[in-house]
Chain A
Amino acid sequence: MKYQVQENCLTIYLPREVDHHSAEEMKREADAVIDRNHIKYVIFDFEKTDFMDSSGIGVIMGRYKTICLIGGEVWAVHANARIRKILTLSGAAKIMQIYEEDES
């Protein structure tokens, strides 16, 4: 998993395909990083992602449950139309902030 920590903010650079296989490893690593660095904000960066199924939703929901207890937030950036559809359909869009960049 590629990630970056800046103060209390963790950015997770998601792989090309987020499924049950890639989600398992991501969950483990993300939880360790969140624990160690007192993370309050988690940013999911979908720049490289063109496939995600409900396992990805599980990853987002799970991290949200952890950090919302300390008043944290979950963000999505660079999500394409397909990813946004998945986020909306699953209800994940209601608990997270989706950063909309200008499409130029």
Chain B
Amino acid sequence: MKNTNEMEIRFDSRSENEGFARVAVAAFMTQLNPTVEEVADVKTAVSEAVTNAIIHGYEGEVKKVTIRCRIEENVFVVEVSDRGKGIENIEEAMQPMFTTLPEQDRSGMGFAFMEAFMDSLEVESSPGNGTIVKMKKTVGKGREIWTTQSL
């Protein structure tokens, strides 16, 4: 049997909740004994996904954003989903610097950051059906070797 643990949170798509979302995920993640860097990576990625759900998915309307986290051994899986308008062209949306809202000073780096800070990123979306962003990160890579040596 694999060592697993799960949690799910659902909150209003208000920008005030962005801070809450990444802190909640970071708190759940601590049981993996991550480094400061790993926690910062996950917080940034979650922040990007939640911001996308709020400004692009719901376009400022207040509805629900769901975050599911799952721990499988030393792999941290986080899924951010909304029931908003969805993405027409996922490939285009994921290109660095691409944004549908340049007039709002969006940098277009959201997906690029998620990709850079997590080990894997999958996006499921279709117009009118919302978006699911699934990210994985192996926590504590390379630490084992060090532990073995010190023993």
Contact = CB atoms under 8 A, between A and B. Distances in A.
A45 interface: no
Contact of A58 (B16, B47, B106): B106
A54 B19 contact: no
A58 B104 CA distance: 8
A14 to B, nearest CB: 15
B47 A90 contact: no
Contacts of A51: 22, 40, 43-44, 47
A90 B19 contact: no
The prevalent SS among residues of A at the interface is helix
A20 interface: yes
B105 A54 contact: no
Interface residue tally of chain A, by bracket? Answer: 10 to 19
Nearest to A24: B15
Nearest to A31: B105
Interface of B: 15-16, 18-19, 22, 37, 40, 43-44, 47-48, 51, 54-55, 104-110, 112-113, 116
15 contacts: A19-B15, A20-B47, A20-B55, A21-B19, A27-B105, A51-B40, A51-B44, A53-B44, A53-B47, A54-B106, A55-B107, A58-B106, A59-B105, A62-B105, A82-B40
